[in-house]
């Protein structure tokens, strides 16, 4: 955490941005800053212009939909002695069609925008994250004025997640088809999609129809939190010097 | 007669110089570009969403199909993201093999680039020369993984298998026989490392050969010198990486600045440009091929001297050998679990980037502890580069747009994902 970290970059960041940071974490040498959407622009500007930070490049901008985070489709904690039927109702995107897609639940702060900034001068990389406050209309200020490259990345996040970037000069869809409906990377958008397209010889044009394939999941989503992985890791670590 | 000033033309998506499926809507004043609006997404397959619905291991093959001329580099970024989250590290021999194949991939990519960019700008012959050497390196891909392009060779915890002891040979056919066949198989008598050794010795001369075709070529220079100048400030602002950044004189290379695999043990130089035009970027890429060749030579030398395991001995991540599996119940269970359910990756997030031939290829991965990634974001260098198209190309002539598309080195597999 931000206290007693030896990382000089983390110290500089918390000194400069202290007030506008919600959290500053470091794991595996990767720094993650969480900021509020209202401070989003100011923090980005500071990150770019401050000589001690000088993050000249925006490397990546990703939208994230946290719906169903940590949800599992296969129960691994309380198994009875009744046998193997321990599948639980999961709502993974592969399990439903467009017409019976799950209603967005009471998930708090569903959408987030994650940005990776790189400092060429100081050889640093930092992750910035902001959760959008309103799930019905996720809003966040656009970074296009600070980093021009954000233009297309934000269009992509808008297209795939429906996150609206305020002040973006040209917020159009970018990856999906002209006239596409919905935001396909949201977790409540079915994996099989909504419509399929084919050429109709009678109508002599390309027509859209509801998808004809059935949703199915080959491998259920499983979260295992048992000691076997730690044990395997320890065994591997013990075997490594001999193997090398 | 009514005077028409600005008009709009459609460039692509079915245009040979559009490198795949780029649709460019160009607003022209005569032959001058006033505005360029690239429409991408015609090759969008939803790779990220597909990967989120599959166990970690089953998406490695998708990575090959992103930037389909630098396959193994994409795999490398993905595999490293998983390794970061799991806290495992590939054995040292696997790191060297990865380094070597990353550089083979770089040469493959740059050969493809020099060939197709030459074609775009009217130099027919380079393409034929470049594909001659490309074929030899493709054979290395095939020898090691069984596939010429979509290898799925890198796996979390190492590489799929060790380098082959025997380089496959050409067989006699109606077209290849006698002295011709002996010449073709000359390098292939020994192992793959012998083959690569012979290739590397020969390749410096081949790069010089490409240079005789282009570097002082009057037409080539007219088409590239002073075209598409990217200033260092612009390169920063547009998130440019790789040769696009180095062409503008910024000595930034992830292999040097944030070394991964075995790059910290390699001796190589980073070429940089001066003016930041198409010609400088051409020179940077040519020199990168020579440097890659140097790295391959060093890897070959090390790999010859240091046998060892190429995969971690952790059966939760890597499958046990076939012999063990047939013979040991525990190994059979491991094998079954690994190929049905996969493995769970501890919750967390990571960003792993490699210096792919086109620039920084990054994988941002969020795991919630499941056997499938919760969110996978692929950072494709081509996507960032292409977004600067409008800013760079404004005021240029129509024919310079072709030079610019060529110099971006874009591949739509990665732009559209």
**The pLDDT value given to residue A244:** 39
Q: Do A229 and B351 touch (CB under 8 A)?
A: no
The answer to whether the peptide bond before residue B53 is cis (omega within 30 degrees of 0) is no
Indicate the helix (H) or strand (E) that contains B244: helix B243-246
Helix-helix angle B124-145:B192-214, to 10 degrees: 170
Q: In angstroms, rounded to a whole number, what is the distance separating the alpha carbons of residues B413 and B351?
A: 21
Q: Do B374 and A72 touch (CB under 8 A)?
A: no
Residue A80 reports pLDDT greater than 80: no
How far off is chain A from B171, nearest CA to CA, in Å? Answer: 38
Residue A241 reports pLDDT greater than 60: no
Whether the complex's predicted ipTM is more than 0.90 is answered with no
Q: In angstroms, rounded to a whole number, what is the distance separating the alpha carbons of residues A92 and A222?
A: 11
Residue B327 reports pLDDT greater than 50: yes
Residue B275 tokens read as 């003016």
Residue B21 tokens read as 């499926």
Tokens 């994230």 belong to: A64
Lowest mean pLDDT among A82-91, B135-144, B391-400: A82-91
- Dihedral, CA atoms, A188, A216, B149, B354, nearest 10 degrees? 30
Tokens 């019976």 belong to: A100
Q: Let me know: does B356 contact B34? Beta carbons within 8 Å.
A: no
Q: Which residues of chain A neighbour B239 with C-beta distances below 8 Å? A: 57-59, 147, 149
Residue A62 tokens read as 């990703």
Question: Could you tell me what percent of chain A has a pLDDT over 90?
Answer: 25
What letter does residue A120 receive in the DSSP assignment? Answer: T
Q: Which residue of A has its CA nearest to B254?
A: A123
Q: Do B371 and A221 touch (CB under 8 A)?
A: yes
Tokens 């009471």 belong to: A106
**The pLDDT value given to residue A243:** 41
Residue A187 reports pLDDT greater than 90: no
pLDDT one-digit tens code per residue, B106-153:
999 999 999 999 888 888 889 999 998 899 899 999 999 988 889 899
Residue B246 tokens read as 């180095």
**The pLDDT value given to residue A153:** 93
Instruction: Give the angle subtended at the CA of A83 by the CAs of A80 and A87, to the nearest 5°.
Output: 80
Q: Do A57 and B351 touch (CB under 8 A)?
A: no
pLDDT one-digit tens code per residue, B150-179:
989 999 989 998 899 888 888 888 888 888
Backbone angles phi, psi at B97, to 5 degrees: -65, -40
Q: Do A185 and B353 touch (CB under 8 A)?
A: no
Q: In angstroms, rounded to a whole number, what is the distance separating the alpha carbons of residues B127 and B218?
A: 18
Q: Which of B262, B243, B261, B266 lies closest to B253 in space, CA to CA?
A: B243
Helices (H), B5-91: 47-52, 60-64, 71-86
Higher confidence at residue B274 or residue A4? B274
Question: A157 in helix, strand or coil?
Answer: helix
Indicate the helix (H) or strand (E) that contains A81: none
**Per-residue exposure over A202-240, b if at least 16 CB sit within 10 Å of its own CB, e if not:** eeeeeeeeeeeeebebebbbbbbeeeebeebbeebeeeb
Find residue A74's DSSP bridge partners: A87
Q: In angstroms, rounded to a whole number, what is the distance separating the alpha carbons of residues B63 and B177?
A: 38
Q: Which residues of chain B neighbour A116 with C-beta distances below 8 Å? A: 351, 362, 364, 379
Q: What residues have CB less than 8 Å from B105, skipping those under 6 apart? A: B70, B71, B72, B73, B357
How far off is chain B from A110, nearest CA to CA, in Å? Answer: 13
Q: Let me know: does A40 contact A134? Beta carbons within 8 Å.
A: no
How far, CA to CA in Å, does A127 sit from each of A23, A33, B135, B237, B413?
12, 6, 41, 18, 26
Residue B410 reports pLDDT greater than 60: yes
In this complex, how many residue pairs, one in chain A and one in chain B, have their CB atoms less than 8 Å apart?
150
Q: Which residues of chain A neighbour B360 with C-beta distances below 8 Å? A: 59
Mutate to test the interface with B, among A54, A76, A152 (most CBs of B within 10 A): A152
Question: A54 in helix, strand or coil?
Answer: coil
Residue A83 tokens read as 């046998």
Residue A54: how many other CB atoms lie within 10 Å: 15
Q: Which of A46, A53, A56 lies closest to A31 in space, CA to CA?
A: A53
pLDDT one-digit tens code per residue, B79-115:
999 998 888 889 999 999 999 999 999 999 999 999 9
**The pLDDT value given to residue B4:** 67
């Amino acid at each position: 955490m931000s206290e007693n970290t030896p990382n000089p970059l983390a110290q500089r960041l918390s000194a400069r941005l202290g007030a506008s940071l919600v959290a500053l974490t470091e794991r595996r040498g990767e720094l993650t800053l969480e900021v509020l959407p209202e401070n989003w622009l100011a923090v980005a500007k500071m990150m770019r212009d401050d000589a001690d930070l000088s993050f000249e490049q925006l490397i990546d901008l990703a939208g994230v939909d946290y719906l169903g985070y940590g949800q599992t489709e296969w129960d691994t904690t309380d198994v009875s002695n009744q046998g193997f039927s321990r599948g639980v109702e999961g709502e993974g995107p592969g399990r439903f069609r467009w017409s019976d897609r799950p209603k967005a639940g009471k998930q708090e702060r569903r959408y987030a925008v994650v940005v990776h900034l790189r400092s060429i001068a100081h050889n640093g990389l930092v992750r910035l994250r902001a959760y959008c406050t309103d799930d019905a209309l996720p809003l966040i200020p656009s970074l296009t004025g600070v980093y021009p490259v954000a233009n297309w990345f934000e269009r992509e996040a808008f297209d795939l997640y429906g996150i609206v970037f305020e002040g973006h000069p040209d917020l159009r869809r970018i990856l999906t088809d002209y006239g596409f409906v919905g935001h396909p990377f949201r977790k409540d958008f079915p994996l099989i999609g909504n419509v399929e397209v084919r050429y109709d010889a009678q109508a002599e044009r390309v027509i859209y129809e509801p998808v004809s394939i059935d949703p199915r999941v080959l491998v259920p989503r499983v979260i295992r939190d048992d000691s076997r992985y730690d044990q395997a890791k320890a065994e591997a670590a013990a075997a490594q010097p001999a193997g090398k | 007669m009514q005077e028409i000033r600005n008009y709009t033309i459609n460039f692509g998506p079915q245009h040979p110089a559009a490198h795949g499926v780029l649709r460019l809507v160009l607003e022209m004043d005569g032959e001058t570009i006033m505005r360029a609006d690239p429409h991408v997404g015609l090759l969008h397959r939803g790779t990220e969403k597909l990967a989120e619905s599959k166990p970690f291991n089953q998406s490695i093959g998708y990575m090959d199909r992103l930037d389909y001329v630098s396959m193994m580099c994409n795999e490398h970024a993905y595999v490293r993201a998983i390794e970061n989250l799991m806290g495992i590290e590939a054995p040292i021999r696997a790191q060297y093999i990865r380094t070597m194949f990353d550089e083979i991939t770089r040469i493959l990519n740059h050969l493809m680039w020099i060939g197709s960019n030459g074609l775009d700008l009217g130099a027919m012959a380079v393409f034929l020369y470049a594909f001659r050497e490309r074929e030899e390196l493709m054979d290395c891909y095939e020898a090691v993984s069984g596939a010429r392009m979509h290898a799925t060779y890198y796996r979390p915890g190492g590489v799929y298998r060790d380098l082959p002891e025997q380089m496959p040979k050409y067989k006699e056919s109606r077209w290849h026989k006698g002295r011709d066949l002996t010449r073709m198989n000359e390098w292939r008598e020994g192992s793959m490392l012998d083959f690569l050794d012979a290739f590397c010795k020969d390749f410096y001369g081949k790069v010089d050969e490409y240079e005789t075709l282009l570097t002082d070529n009057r037409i080539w220079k007219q088409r590239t010198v002073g075209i598409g100048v990217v200033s260092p400030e612009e390169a920063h602002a547009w998130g440019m990486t790789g040769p696009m950044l180095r062409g503008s004189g910024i000595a930034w290379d992830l292999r040097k600045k944030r070394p991964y695999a075995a790059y910290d043990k390699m001796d190589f130089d980073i070429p940089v440009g001066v003016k930041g035009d198409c010609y400088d970027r051409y020179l940077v890429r040519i020199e990168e091929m020579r440097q890659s060749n140097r790295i391959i030579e060093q890897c070959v030398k090390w790999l010859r001297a240091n046998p060892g395991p190429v995969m971690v001995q952790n059966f939760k991540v890597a499958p046990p050998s076939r012999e063990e599996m047939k013979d040991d119940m525990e190994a059979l269970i491991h094998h079954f679990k690994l190929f049905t359910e996969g493995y769970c990756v501890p919750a967390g997030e990571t960003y792993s980037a490699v210096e792919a031939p086109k620039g920084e290829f990054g994988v941002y991965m969020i795991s919630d502890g499941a056997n499938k990634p919760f969110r996978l974001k692929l950072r494709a260098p081509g996507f960032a580069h292409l977004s600067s198209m409008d800013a760079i190309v404004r005021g240029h002539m129509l024919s310079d747009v072709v030079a610019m598309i060529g110099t971006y080195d874009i591949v739509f597999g990665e732009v559209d994902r």
